[in-house]
Structure 1
Amino acid sequence: MANACGVDFGTSNSTVGVVRPGHPALLALEDGKPTLPSVVFFNADEEEVKYGRAALADYLAGYEGRLMRSLKSLLGTSLIDGQTEVAGRALPFRMLLSHFIGEVKRRSEQAAGHQFNSVVLGRPVFFIDDSAEADKLAEDTLAEVARSVGFKHIAFQYEPIAAAFDYESRIEREELVLIADIGGGTSDFSLVRLGPGRTERAERRDDILATGGVHIGGTDFDKYLSLSSVMPLLGYGSRMSNDSEIPSSYYFNLATWHTINQAYTKKTWTQLADVVRDAREPEKVGRLQRLIDERAGHWLALKVEEGKIALSGSASASIELDRLSPPETLALQRHEFEAATAHLLDSVDQTVLKLLADAGVAAGEVDTVFFTGGSSGVIALRARIGALLPAARKVEGDLFGSIGAGLAIDAARKFGPGGA
């Protein structure tokens, strides 16, 4: 039995893969499903910690506690050395990551029926844009966390390269492929030569023509959809009696997954009481105040994410904001969503164009664009990338599983069939 696995610790979802002849690569982590949402809920009412879908279910059912999501976004930032309060006690963010990665390891071992000593961890091309030092810190922190939960031998692989290995296992001829991995926190790209004759090579460095990435992912699309469509209902963009704009920090914190809990401080509550008194539209800011008082920021973020997903399949959608006071049904339009996120699409465009330039490859030479990552379902994003490579075939992988499956292949290569 292989004791080496691949772990895709994602911003939104996580998977674990292991090479098992005759069996799917991905292990079941929750309710028979291979994905475990990267969510932790500290349930204060029942004094227990929940993970994944169970965590979201408890939170949405109204249990008291702290919900933490988008944990991967902490890596490489100054927040990683900070802490949050859970049930009146300080919880360091590093320990929070250990809680989650440890649970992923425990569940994967339970599913496989044996322990894993060796792991290939997926990582984005850049954890942090334009800072090699912060990027190294992020990788070192993730390695430290993995070691703390019992992994003895640790290696890393770029997530789009892992997705390339998964795609390569299914093709019958050599191709030049752009791997577009659009995750919850980053958009990563690799230009790779793939083919059946290359799969057994121990060293694939020469097959990788270029890699690139940008710190833009699904949570950023959530953020700007929220700011453009939802936060104005709570007073975003409105003014005080002296004609100054209401501070935007409240809204940005609530619209950004990993900073939502920063809105729940006593200082924020005190400030908002003053803002409501001096606001030109106090009823809107009052909605914001009540939302924060009820700690319903994650509920709102989930509603926004639901709307974003709905817009991937339709030109319009609506979301029921029934916990606002008064409740509201909000109509969303895809064209408005695309206008609000145009600057994100521009950054992705530039990243792909730079990648092609770095590789010295013309757009017409690329055979295939392989889309993976849950956020590659954003229609405008796929269209932009597709338009840059009009002659290339467009192939959709397992949006949530290609990376984990590819990491499993890489773990078997790096550590051997029995692991290290």
Structure 2
Amino acid sequence: MIVGFDYGSANCAVGVWLEGEVVQLALGKNSNYLPSTLYAYDRDLIAQAVYFGLPQSLKADYAKLRSSQLARAIQVRHELDLTATEQAVFVGEKAIEAYLDMPEEGFYVRSPKSFLGASGLRAEQVALFEDIVTLMMQHVKVIVDTQLQQKGLSPATHAMIGRPVNFQGIGGEQSNQQAEAILSVAAKRAGFDEVKFLFEPIAAGMDFEATLTENANVLVVDVGGGTTDCSLVKMGPSLQTKQDRSQDFYGHTGQRVGGNDLDIALAMHGFMPSFGSQSHMLDGKPMPSNIFWNAVAVNDISAQRDFYQLSTKKLIDALIKDAKQPELIKRLQVLHANQMSFQVVRQAELTKMALSDAPSHKAAIDFIEAGLTIEVTEPQFEQAIESSLDKVSQLMQQAMTSPQAQSEQVTTPDIVYITGGTARSPAIYNQIAKVYPQASVVVGDHFGSVTAGLTRTAQQAFKG
């Protein structure tokens, strides 16, 4: 069976083509989406969980590659008093629940896709991300195959997987190749026979194209959880049946700025003042800002590593003694001691979502201090994410000034098609609409358009 697989920074989704239309399969309880999160009691247990889920033909080679991790996993199970079959690694909502239950223990990763193209990853780090992605894909494939079997269909064997234009802001094509290689290895280990990749904004555009009644130059703006991607595409009813669409794709830009970055920015500028980020020392000097940024930079491996070092604990202890408002810095001390960075950023995410429907929101931070709430208004949110919004505008303009767009004399899009979960925010929508006010602005399915486009495109890609 051919599927479209949106392995997203925030959520995963899978679509199949049934009776002439895209059908999204349910990956969670009453939901078509699986949160892109993983929690393990110990990171070496991830390799063991991957091994258990591998096709039999791949187990021997994998066991050689991960011999040390698999040996360590047996020891860890003994130390943690876990049976050989007791679940020790969790994915999706269950991962979130396990983390919130024991935030100071275990290994938790949110939005692993955001790390895949990171520069300077050591071989063992690449291996770890291969295992994280593999385990998540294994989990998804089991769910998908079960539902396909219930419909009397064969298991998923071919997948069109979405990818951002650029996985990282730095590293260029080398980073993209590294990330794509990780996804390819993971998909094969999860049991897919063949995979292909498609830019996510193009996938979203291909779904939108099916609704057009005349040809148009469409600027697709996909603001996802980890990246923002823009594609300028000529599309319409007379172009849908073309086998080669390369000449219709005028320009692509992308950068690692998405919902995760907005959450972190809001956590920094909206929440961290209540942890002392804008307070002063007894001598009048301002607090060092870097420690607060590292506390919430959950998509930056080095920042989180620095924050949870012993030296940071000692620095926080010293800051409490020298602070004019030590009670604020003590909140940072609690955050550090209990490893609650993800919980703080999660509250920022919930605040962002709430501000899509209300002018202000009170975030409950009572896991830090009983009764602690932080109110954030929509203008405060817009100010906190201003630099990110500027990057989105720049990406749109870069796509419009590509060499092919200029050769076709396309200076303004006829339509701006907005998709991606983060685009639900009025602040994001308003910023996008301002850049090309003369264009018609269409808001698509915030979550399903990429999946639908991948599923549509997959039918031709694997059968053609």
Other-structure match for 1:59? 99
Other-structure match for 2:15? 17
Could you list the structure 1 runs, at least 4 aligned residues long, displaced by more than 6 angstroms after superposition: 361-364
1:344 and 2:392 aligned: no
Q: Structure 2 counterpart of 1:300, which letter? A: V
Alpha-carbon distance between aligned partners in 2 of 1:79 and 1:109, rounded to the nearest angstrom: 36
Task: Note the C-alpha offset of 1:341.
Answer: 1.6
Other-structure match for 2:135? 99
Task: Note the C-alpha offset of 1:213.
Answer: 1.7
- 1:12-411 to 2 correspondence within 5 Å? 12-21=10-19, 24-42=22-40, 47-62=87-102, 65-78=106-119, 80-81=121-122, 92-113=128-149, 114-130=154-170, 131-241=172-282, 245-259=286-300, 262=305, 263-358=307-402, 359-360=405-406, 365-411=412-458
Q: Could you tell me the TM-score, scaled by structure 1's length?
A: 0.89
Q: CA contact under 8 A between 1:29 and 1:111: conserved in structure 2?
A: no
Q: Provide Cα deviations, 1:297-325, integer angstroms capped at 9, x if missing partner.
A: 22211111111111122222211211122
Q: Structure 2 counterpart of 1:94, which letter? A: E
Task: Note the C-alpha offset of 1:43.
Answer: 5.3
State the SS of the aligned residue for 2:263. Answer: helix
Q: Provide Cα deviations, 1:148-205, integer angstroms capped at 9, x if missing partner.
A: 3222312110000000111112222222211110001111111112222222221111
Task: Note the C-alpha offset of 1:146.
Answer: 1.9
Q: Structure 1 counterpart of 2:209, which letter? A: E
Q: From the superposition, tell whether residues 350 and 24 of structure 1 become closer, same or farther in structure 2 (CA, over 3 Å).
A: closer
Q: Structure 2 counterpart of 1:188, which letter? A: D
Q: Provide Cα deviations, 1:261-318, integer angstroms capped at 9, x if missing partner.
A: 5344444334433333333332211111112222322221111111111112222221
Task: Note the C-alpha offset of 1:240.
Answer: 4.2
State the SS of the aligned residue for 2:299. Answer: helix
Other-structure match for 1:88? none
Alpha-carbon distance between aligned partners in 2 of 1:166 and 1:145, rounded to the nearest angstrom: 26
Alpha-carbon distance between aligned partners in 1 of 2:18 and 2:263, rounded to the nearest angstrom: 37
State the SS of the aligned residue for 1:25. Answer: strand
Alpha-carbon distance between aligned partners in 1 of 2:188 and 2:455, rounded to the nearest angstrom: 18
Q: From the superposition, tell whether residues 266 and 102 of structure 1 become closer, same or farther in structure 2 (CA, over 3 Å).
A: farther
Q: CA contact under 8 A between 1:317 and 1:331: conserved in structure 2?
A: yes
Alpha-carbon distance between aligned partners in 2 of 1:362 and 1:219, rounded to the nearest angstrom: 35
State the SS of the aligned residue for 2:401. Answer: helix
State the SS of the aligned residue for 1:6. Answer: strand
Q: From the superposition, tell whether residues 24 and 350 of structure 1 become closer, same or farther in structure 2 (CA, over 3 Å).
A: closer
Task: Note the C-alpha offset of 1:25.
Answer: 2.4
- Tell me: higher relative CO, structure 1 or 2? Use CA pairs within 8 A at least 6 residues apart: 1
Alpha-carbon distance between aligned partners in 1 of 2:120 and 2:445, rounded to the nearest angstrom: 32
For structure 1, list consecutive stretches of 5 or more residues without a partner in the other structure.
85-90
Give aligned-pair identity as a percent.
31
Q: Provide Cα deviations, 1:40-94, integer angstroms capped at 9, x if missing partner.
A: 122589753222122223333457543320111111114753768xxxxxx9233
Q: CA contact under 8 A between 1:42 and 1:50: conserved in structure 2?
A: yes
Q: CA contact under 8 A between 1:81 and 1:92: conserved in structure 2?
A: no
Alpha-carbon distance between aligned partners in 1 of 2:459 and 2:268, rounded to the nearest angstrom: 44
Alpha-carbon distance between aligned partners in 2 of 1:254 and 1:62, rounded to the nearest angstrom: 18
After alignment, is 181-190 or 141-150 more displaced?
Answer: 141-150
Q: CA contact under 8 A between 1:81 and 1:94: conserved in structure 2?
A: no
Alpha-carbon distance between aligned partners in 2 of 1:82 and 1:280, rounded to the nearest angstrom: 45
Q: Structure 1 counterpart of 2:164, which letter? A: P
Q: Structure 2 counterpart of 1:121, which letter? A: I
Q: CA contact under 8 A between 2:137 and 2:190: conserved in structure 1?
A: yes
Q: From the superposition, tell whether residues 209 and 104 of structure 1 become closer, same or farther in structure 2 (CA, over 3 Å).
A: same
Q: Structure 2 counterpart of 1:69, which letter? A: R
State the SS of the aligned residue for 2:18. Answer: coil
State the SS of the aligned residue for 1:33. Answer: coil
After alignment, is 144-153 or 402-411 more displaced?
Answer: 144-153
